Amino acid sequence: MTASLEAMRHSCAHVMAASIQELWPGSKFGVGPTIGNGFYYDVLFPEHIGVEDLGNIERLMRKKKRQQLPIERIVLPVEKAIEIMEGAGQDFKVELLELLRDKGSTAVVDATGDRNISDADSGGETEVSFYKVGDFLDLCRGPHVARSSDIGHFRLTTVAGAYWRGDEKRPQLQRIYGLCYPTVEELEAEVERLEEVKRRDHRRLGRELDIFHLSPEVGAGLPLWLPNGTVLRDELEFLAKEHERRASYQRVSTPHITNEQLYFQSGHLPYYKEDMYSPISIGDANYYLKPMNCPHHHHIYLSRPRSYRELPLRLAEYGQVYRYEDSGALSGIIRTRGFMQNDAHIYCRLDQAKVEFTNVMRMHADYYRIFGIEDFYMRLALPDLDKLEKYVDEPEKWMAALDVIQESMDDSGLPYQEAKGDAAFYGPKIDFIIKSAIGTEYAISTNQLDFLATERFGLTYRGEDAKDYPVYVIHRAPLGSHERFIAFLLEHYKGAFPVWLAPVQVVVIPVSEKFTSYAAQVYDRLMSSPVRNGSLGFRVELDATSDRMQKKVRNALVRKIPLVLVVGGAEEAAESVALRTRSGADLGQVGLSEFIDVLRAAVEQRDDTPFQQHFGGE
């Protein structure tokens, strides 16, 4: 943000506060910083306010803008400032001033996200600055624009709850958010973007399209998958199984609870304990819900001696795991307490690791092509390489693993960034970041090259020379978890899934009751047409309700069902269907057999383009 934009937005926040004070005398003000598209201010109102009050505040702000009030800077001794704020009943400001006086540090204050306070670095403050707009005086570091007429174009958007200083034991204030831009065009563009963000919100689409349900009775962060959402999960698993089978993975299954001994061996206890739930005692042992599938797969590796001929050994599982998340961190199905991971572990020799790792990256790229995800990159987490020996026990092994990863990133030809810090002690890791249509970044999968598991678990293989050698482990989960990936897909497709993924692919609608029996024949043909190696038929519905035909079509469009087949006398006579797409396009009459063949191609190729090329529409 440029300094002038910052000053404009911050002044806008002051003008809002001045208006609030006029409308609700006795309001107590917390902090009011600028943010990426405007500003907010935390206020304790004498009464609870709602979004319906924002218009009144805006009106008064516009009046103050027209009045061209000067914004004046006033410097006061800190004791005098405290006296004035006490007199005005501004308890929160008094608290901030006392902090400034006693600690002189903004560090304490900045932890609350406040940026209104002057930037002293040490010792107590003796003087503080205030800014005055009309009658309203506010503690502030500044800078500000010269007059209230320079606050740009603004709109107040939402009211939310916010605890004073982020502490739930302190009073709850109301946070008012505002947008602020130099031009009306920029403001309108941001308003439109925020509308689109709302329309694509995975929680809203998840509810509207019956994908998942979060129920307080079941528990926070524990989603229930509805029939439509379960279709999405099944299709994703089917996709992964196909790709993994072609890449010579073998599938395994492991239990949800596990004896604590395993987690002592893996090091999860005690190092990962705060991410795990309290144990369940069974007999005289403690059992934990599994937070990761790795130790289980390692024990599958250990179930018998392994020869060099078996490597690389690739064990795959869609594995359910449970990790502790603070209730405040839970967000729809992006962050949950239980989730299903597209997991696998590849056991190999060091000299095989590069090819294996490159293939994992290519598998990511294959999936992204299928989903039309074009905006993505890999992020390699690096420690401070000069101080590596302080950070890990075996710096040589760490560097060897890093070489493998960097070479395979280059070989993959995919875009990547290197980021200092955040590296894992057991080896270098790569996160895949994908961006949704509205610019949200999802860290969707993590890949690691692990050289410590071999020691912790005694993972070795018998070489040609009959000696035992250590094994390297690649951890990978290209599709991440069902929960996060489906949240992404909802946002990415705005709920309009391609045909292969759509929970309901086709709905058949008779033009009138007279043609219900032909509609039922069409339905049966679709239900019983083999798709993809003879698996179940298409996902089709017959709408035989008493609603009028137009209403049925509208219902199908609202549910974002990709294909609507309307049938009447002409269609029955020609053994055809009248085809409409969810975009509303009417593509006219097509033969039923032809329709089925082209639909099958689109589903099997996981790509709608053959369908669009043949019939048109989108």
Residues near Zn ion (CB under 5 A): 116, 140, 294, 475
- What DSSP string describes 270-323? HHTGGGSPPPEEETTEEEEE-S-SHHHHHHHHTTS--BGGG-SEEEEEEEEEE-
Helix, coil or strand: residue 546: coil
The kind and range of the H/E element at 547 are none
Query: Which residue is associated with the tokens 């790509």?
Result: 607
Measure the CA–CA gap between 604 and 533, rounded to whole angstroms.
9
- Whose Cβ is closer to Zn ion: residue 9's or residue 492's? 9
Give 205 or 315: the residue with its C-beta nearer to Zn ion: 315
- By C-beta, is 297 or 559 nearer to Zn ion? 297
* CB nearer Zn ion, residue 70 or residue 588: 70
248, 314 Cβ separation under 8 angstroms = yes
- Residue 383 has phi, psi (to 5 degrees) of -85, 180
Minimum CB distance to Zn ion, residue 69 (Å):
15
- Residue type at 270? P
Q: In this structure, what token pair is assigned to residue 424?
A: 């894992």
Min dist CB 144 to Zn ion, Å, is 7
What does DSSP assign to residue 175? E
Evaluate whether 140 touches 14 at the Cβ level (below 8 Å).
yes
- Among residues 140 and 380, whose Cβ is nearest to Zn ion? 140
State the minimum distance, in angstroms, from the CB of residue 211 to Zn ion: 27
Distance CA 144, CA 73 (A): 9
Q: Smallest distance, Å, CB 205 to Zn ion?
A: 31
Q: How far is the CB of 292 from Zn ion (least distance, A)?
A: 6
Least spacing, CB of residue 116 vs Zn ion, in Å: 5
Report the catalytic residues.
Answer: 294, 323, 341, 343, 345, 429, 475
Min CB(446)–Zn ion separation in Å: 9
Tell me which residue has its CB nearest to Zn ion. Answer: 140
For residue 226, the Cα-to-chain-centroid distance in whole angstroms is 20
CB 21 within 8 A of CB 136: yes
Q: Of 268 and 492, which has the nearer Cβ to Zn ion?
A: 268
Rg (CA), the chain: 30
Nearest to 562 by CA among 511, 599, 604: 599
**Shortest CB 465 distance to Zn ion, Å:** 30
Closer Cβ to Zn ion, 364 or 475, answer by number: 475
| Residue pair 421/383 in contact by the 8 Å Cβ criterion | yes
47: buried, middle or exposed (CB in 10 Å: 19+, 13-18, 0-12)? exposed
Among 431, 561, 448, smallest CA distance to 484 is for 431
CB atoms within 10 A of CB 183: 10
Angle at 189 between CA 184 and CA 195, to 5 degrees: 125
Q: Are strands 136-139 and 71-77 parallel, antiparallel or unpaired?
A: unpaired
Query: How many CB atoms neighbour CB 89 within 10 A?
Result: 12
Toward Zn ion, which CB reaches closer, 296 or 580? 296
| Three-state secondary structure call for residue 545 | coil
